[in-house]
Structure 1
Amino acid sequence: MKVTFALAGAAAITLPALAAPVFLPRAEGPPPLREADRYLSNVERAVFNGPVEDVIAHLNSDEGSVLAFVQQTDRIAGIGDEIPIEGTFPDVGALRILELTDGSRVTERVVENTEARFAYQIWGFTAPAARPIDHIHGYFSYEARDEETTEVVWTYAVAPRVFWARPFIQGFLDNDFGPFMHSGLSGSAEAFNATVAN
């Protein structure tokens, strides 16, 4: 028997059913963020040939967002709809519900938005099999290499609720979600760099 659960509202992992775990009810609101070493993560990097402010504007646009370049797979669901709850994305504190193409939902909020970093948190997975995940803490860091080159680093960190799920989540990040992230970030960089070159 296997258990499948959604990851960050944009992924599904199939895990062996080791036992029927008991989960305590979740508190209302976002779970507290953890120290960096308490997450399982994947990191992707890309170089954009432009200053930080132009790169951020590109990533915040519909045509430059990493979501414009990722592809839904049988293990990674797409975003079907965005329902604003509070504030306006990408402002700090903005809150929204994402309805996914597999019928599940997650809640997302903006944690930080500066010229150096954009951070978000995802929690409240409605897929019953997503219970081993407490939350996701994702962030984009922007570092100017010089006046005309910016390195963007996308970190996607998953906080498991149960210890036994850790190797399966890390395997999924390495083998499935990592390539998904790479295609999104590298696709955005290639599109940006092509417009700069012309």
Structure 2
Amino acid sequence: MANISDAYGSLIITTQNPQILETLTKVFTWLDENQHSFIYGFWVEKSQFKDGLQDGISYPFVGFGRWCMSATLRDFLTGGLDDEFTDELKKYDWDMELAYHDYEPGLQFLVRQTVKLGYKKQEPFFELYINAELPYTAKNLNELGFVEMAVDAAKESHPLLKQLIVDTLELQSDDFDIAVLIKDLNWQNCVWLDDDFCNIVHDNAEKNQAFC
């Protein structure tokens, strides 16, 4: 099974045809209503387009990629939709631009990408035209909102977690035992950087002769 990436960003639809907007509204309604059935895919919450999708409007989206979000988007029009939607979408020219950040922990993959997909002369197209690899650092993961997914109690995550703690709390030393800290917190799945967390980090660091 492929690794799953997590992505979020915004999308903009460009079309002069109201029938395309009507069909895409049906598509994204279906995607939102069935999001928990997907291993890979992307969707916009229905609350974002109560009156239907509009041309030139930016909508936030989230999704899960097969290894990466761009691979899932590449397959969106060539295997990700029911035939009834495909038959309608290929009747007219249109495009959709998606700009997003994408993260996959297994390969320590963190990127900023922009893709454009759609139909032209009844043929699907896909173009990845911005592909910026970002340093896989605790600081970037924290700023981009991937901390909760990136850091857990798994041993392989300990160096990243330790760096995250040092960066976030601006510690002057990393001379503390991360395994002891994890045990103290009794973590299971993710890290939440609240006041209690910060206090425990400081206490643990002081016990291990670190300077905060």
Q: TM-score, normalised by structure 2?
A: 0.29
Q: TM-score, normalised by structure 1?
A: 0.31
Larger Rg: 2
Bigger RCO (CA 8 Å, 6+ sep) = 1
